Structure 1
Amino acid sequence: MQPDNTLTQSDVMDPARAQAMQVALGHAPTLLAGDALPPFFHTLYFWTALPSSQLGRDGHPKVGGLIPDMGLPRRMWAGGRLQFDAPLRLGAEARRVSVCEAANRKEGRTGPLAFVTMRHEVWQADTLCLTEWQGLVYRKDPDPNAPRPIVRDAAVDEEAAETVHFDATLLFRYSALTFNGHRIHYDQPYAREVEGYDGLVVHGPFLAQHLMLMAERDLGPLGAFSFRATAPLMHHETATLCRKGREFWVRGPDGRLCMTASA
């Protein structure tokens, strides 16, 4: 019997799911059984499928199990870090061991915050292929009278850049491929009226996915990658993916910094 803070799941790295992700990204569906899984595509697997009665109001699994309930309803994926040790092969079974490493509640400038660190190890046979640390932040509901958060301006000295576009259909497809029920990505009334966003929120991991593919294309196979979300990007906004050396960032259409990353 595994401890309460650990979850082990098994899944087959189905090439069809990886091909669907390629198509969603605007690429040709070329991946086949035996091929190495592109970086971060492991998020397409190891779904946690629960009945509706076990979901919270936001569409995520209710806290109180693997992630403790700290009394704060709004969840955000704040960032992550990945260590790539061996390729994951499509068509083969893999297992993911997830551990809640830390969960702490603190007082921030805008009120209480809870920080959760998850560690995921992904294995094929007896080989550890990937270790991922996932940083989550939980917050209270927004105060409509509170001042808008201060955002940083993104750098404009990139060596390489490309633009990416999002819409509601693309966000829905990514949510479906990753089995992510978070309503801020597809339920616009909920995103605006309950969580206080200006529209549908582009998934932080989806932005990180774009940056990782850019990094692999420009720099070669990745050994490690880290990213941190700094401001939300809305579904109706065009973003610019930027690179300078091994540093990456996402710039919003108004110049704000949405994500930083390092390869």
Structure 2
Amino acid sequence: MAEEIQTDVIDPARAAAFQVALGQEGTVTDGTPLPLFFHQLYFWSPRPPSELGRDGHTKVGGLIPDMGLPRRMWAGGRLEFNAPLIAGRSAKRRSTCDSSASKNGRSGPLGFVTLRHEIWQGDTHCLTEWQDLVYRQNPSPDQVKPAPPTARTDETDRHEVTFDSTLLFRYSGLTFNGHRIHYDLDYARDVEGYAGLVVHGPLLAQLLMLFAEELMGPLARFSFRATAPLMNFETATLCREGQTLWVSGPDGRQCMIAEAVARSE
């Protein structure tokens, strides 16, 4: 089984910059616990231009097998939180490809990949994350897009959030995510067929996690699944009812569905 091991120092300045980008006070300093999911800002894997695909991501063929499909989407993930990462200290991430499979869907061939990341600081296993990726073929002009699911309307808690190209640019930079659908409007619209710049799925999941933690307290587990893209010019609503959370688009479509489990349960 292929694996990658990386080490990184959990730079507090990077986490504080992300807090500010989200409109919060930059409170992370050396020695403080990192907010949930902020590990996305670390363990960069920079590659020279010759090793990048047309979409700005690293070419597949290493940890992720090449299934001959050019379009990538982060479809969802699961996380188990054991202990907080501490800013200012070194951490290690071990990454493996748990599974990969090719299938035929309504829109054509699909490739499914699940990556597992285990993150440690010293002898402490801080968290395990599974990333579910989907690879697709190029859209055809006459292809009919499937209707997105309709979001529930029985939430007990809700919070509206807005996005702009600056936030997407800053998130791409802080996470070293080169995927062009988040900052290159011509590419997003003309090559991948989106109506505008696409809000990062992990950014939506990040906001849901922080929303859940605010309402439920410290989390032990969190899982999420992207169900429809959200554009940067659209207002979204974060919703919660019990352990279930979701992101509703301005037209009532469900963009993401998630489940959070508090540490006390």
Q: Shorter-chain TM-score: what band?
A: over 0.9
Deviation at 1:20, TM superposition (A): 0.5
- Taking the aligned partners of 1:114 and 1:257, their CA distance within structure 2 comes to 23
How many residues align? The count is 260
**Alignment partner, residue 60 of structure 2:** 63
**Alignment partner, residue 82 of structure 1:** 79
Alpha-carbon RMSD across the aligned residues, in angstroms, is 0.6
TM-score normalised according to structure 1 size: 0.98
| Residue 132 of structure 2, aligned match among 118, 131, 135 | 135
Q: Stretches of 4+ moved more than 2 A in 1?
A: none
- Taking the aligned partners of 2:141 and 2:194, their CA distance within structure 1 comes to 11
Q: After superposition, what is the alpha-carbon deviation per residue over 1:116-163, rounded to whole angstroms, capped at 9, x for unaligned?
A: 000000000011100000000000000110112211110111000000
Q: After superposition, what is the alpha-carbon deviation per residue over 1:42-65, rounded to whole angstroms, capped at 9, x for unaligned?
A: 000000011111000000000011
| SS of residue matched to 1:250 | strand
**Alignment partner, residue 18 of structure 2:** 21
- Taking the aligned partners of 1:224 and 1:124, their CA distance within structure 2 comes to 19
Unaligned runs of 5+ in 1: none
Write the letter of the residue equivalent to 2:164: D
Q: After superposition, what is the alpha-carbon deviation per residue over 1:165-212, rounded to whole angstroms, capped at 9, x for unaligned?
A: 001111000000000000000000000010000000000000000000
The question of 1:190 aligning with 2:194 is answered no
**Alignment partner, residue 150 of structure 1:** 147
- Taking the aligned partners of 1:92 and 1:239, their CA distance within structure 2 comes to 35
State the identity as a percent: 65
Write the letter of the residue equivalent to 1:39: L
| Residue 29 of structure 2, aligned match among 27, 32, 39 | 32
- Taking the aligned partners of 2:218 and 2:31, their CA distance within structure 1 comes to 17
Deviation at 1:228, TM superposition (A): 0.2
- Taking the aligned partners of 2:18 and 2:117, their CA distance within structure 1 comes to 21
| SS of residue matched to 2:219 | coil
| SS of residue matched to 2:35 | coil
